[in-house]
Amino acid sequence: MQTVDIFERLRNGETVPAGDPEAYKLREASFATKKLLLQMNSADDPAEVRNFLSQITATEIDENTAVFTPLYINYGKNTKIGKNVFINFDCVFLDLGGITIEDNVQIAPKVSLLSEGHPIAAKDRQSLVPGHIHIKRNAWIGANATILAGVTIGENAVVAAGAVVSKDVPDNCVFGGIPAKMLKHIE
């Protein structure tokens, strides 16, 4: 008998196996988030957008944070957004594994933050594997970049447009490519 809620297990980094008896809660929460997203993505007032995002994330969104909609989030309660953050159009946040975005981060259009994935083994592929994404202060994520589960983007780091990041990015450097690798240090 499971005693720990499925959301807590995901936050703790536990794989949720296929057929988990609480899996239905993930879909229910996702549909509840979708209702708020539809309203948020239709709003044209920045304060209203922040208000809906606050409801989705269950945290206060700083008045200096700007979100250009549409933004797509599958859950929301595992996303934490700092102050003076800029999120451009058409981003996707899958946050069941957790996403932390620190202060002064810039996120370009069409960025995907994917804090969850699946095992490679075919017999286990329906399982859900979480991995917290952490984007540190003053990082810049370029257009159409994808950050995969378990990755930390260092302070002042830049992820080049189109990069697929599958490993941690150190502070003060530029990463780019598929898979992303160190391109240079930032002085």
Q: What percent of the chain has pLDDT over 90?
A: 95
CA 91-125-56 angle, 5° bins: 30
Task: Answer yes or no: pTM beyond 0.85.
Answer: yes
CA nearest to 26, candidates 131, 150, 100, 127? 127
Tell me the per-residue pLDDT of 25-52, one tens digit each, with 9 for 90 and over: 999 999 999 999 999 999 999 999 999 9
174 has a pLDDT exceeding 70: yes
CB 109 within 8 A of CB 143: yes
Which residues participate in catalysis according to the annotation?
118
Mean pLDDT across 143-169: 98
CB 64 within 8 A of CB 84: yes
2 has a pLDDT exceeding 90: no
- In whole angstroms, how far apart are CA 178 and each of 145, 159, 167? 10, 11, 11
114 has a pLDDT exceeding 70: yes
Residue 103, φ and ψ in degrees, nearest 5: -60, 150
Q: What confidence score (pLDDT) does residue 106 get?
A: 98
The correct CATH number of 6-185 out of 2.30.40.10, 3.40.630.10, 3.30.70.100, 2.160.10.10 is 2.160.10.10
3 has a pLDDT exceeding 70: no
Q: What confidence score (pLDDT) does residue 187 get?
A: 84
Q: What confidence score (pLDDT) does residue 4 get?
A: 84
Break the chain into its structural domains and give their ranges. 6-185
Q: How confident is the prediction for the chain on average, in pLDDT? A: 96
CA nearest to 136, candidates 92, 181, 85? 85
